[in-house]
Structure 1
Amino acid sequence: MTAPAELVPTGAEMLQHLVESAGGARQPAADMADLAEIIRTLLAVETRRDTRVRLGGNLFDVVISSSGLQARGAVALMDEIQGGCGPVIEDPESGWLYWLVPPESSARWASHSHAVCLGAPHTITLPSLNRTAPPGPYWLRPSASDRLVPTGPLREALAQIRPEPTPHAALALQLGITT
């Protein structure tokens, strides 16, 4: 049995009810600007543009290791562990892999002989999602919305495989950081 047409609210009436039930004007949540920036960033990457993003926050941090043949072994090991490795960007020019790991990982990352973990306030340029080969940085393992690279297994894989050269000195010089 269906309700009479005059009892079924229109879309405009439902929206008005929601507005009225929300109460008076409120300040937007502090993280809404961040959310808008994140959405704009992800849309830009999706529309085939390289996009610079801040590390940390709600997105991800990044572990940086060598991108040589040994590092490919670590990617293969993470493929086995994860059933397909989480997102990894290769930058042939710098010779680095950028492993996208859960946000705030840099705060918990202990010193590692073959990798560095960076979070806020650093940034990274994400290649467009269709870039899967050089020239320039590209997705060695594409970004999937449902996973990042877990830091525990990644630490173990990098300790086992020991990719060289390590990024420590080059990062310290480039970013003016100490590791």
Structure 2
Amino acid sequence: MSATAAVLPTGTEIMQHLVQSAGAAREPAADMADLAEVIRTLMAVEARRDTRVRLGGNLFDVVITGSCPEAYAAVALMDKIQGGCGPVIEDPESGWLYWLVPPGSASQWAPHSHAVCLSAPHTITLPTLHRTMPPGPYWHRPSASDRLVPTGPLREALAQLRPEPTPHAALAARLGITS
């Protein structure tokens, strides 16, 4: 071995470095609180309890539209595009559909005349997975673990079909936004 050759660390030295770089043993990882919240939320929904969740993060954002024949036509169109539309919640009391879209969508959503996209700090109540009829909010299209509604095709469908009434004024009033 030449004098200039590097000396490789031993297995013990590598383990010591990994332990030291991991931080305090009792200090949870920064994202563990979020993960615990997600798990509690999913367990509550699975246990047939409605549960309130924060939008954004790693879960989903939400696009809100009116609940009307044109919106149902958009669901049917998304069924064709996706081979089964991603999750959509209907709230008969408010007259809205909530389309669950990929997280981060709200930051990329340009103003739309027939829909609003929201993320954190807003929340949404997810109905139990088994509620597919009123009373109260229910799954118009049940949540499938493998998909959300893609925003590009949804945006185009909503622009074409124009569901009414639009949620803009009602959301602004609910959120206390004045012009």
* TM-score normalised by length of structure 1: 0.86
Alpha-carbon distance in 2 for matches of 1:178, 1:73: 32
Structure 2 unpaired stretches of 5+: 1-15
Distance 1:177 1:105, change over 3 A: farther
Instruction: List per-residue Cα deviations over 1:119-138 (Å, max 9, x = no partner).
Output: 00000000000000000000
Structure 1 unpaired stretches of 5+: 1-19
Q: Which residue of 1 aligns with 2:172?
A: 172
Larger Rg: 2
Pairs within 5 Å for 1:105-120: 105-120=105-120
Distance 1:70 1:40, change over 3 A: same
Alpha-carbon distance in 2 for matches of 1:36, 1:140: 28
Does structure 1 residue 34 correspond to structure 2 residue 34? yes
Alpha-carbon distance in 2 for matches of 1:160, 1:128: 32
Alpha-carbon distance in 2 for matches of 1:92, 1:172: 19
Alpha-carbon distance in 2 for matches of 1:75, 1:116: 16
State the identity as a percent. 80
Task: Spell out structure 1 runs of 4+ moving beyond 4 A.
Answer: none
SS of the residue corresponding to residue 113 of structure 2 reads coil
Does structure 1 residue 129 correspond to structure 2 residue 129? yes
RMSD, matched Cα: 1.8
Does structure 1 residue 23 correspond to structure 2 residue 19? yes
Aligned length: 161
Alpha-carbon distance in 1 for matches of 2:18, 2:144: 35
Q: Which residue of 2 aligns with 1:144?
A: 144
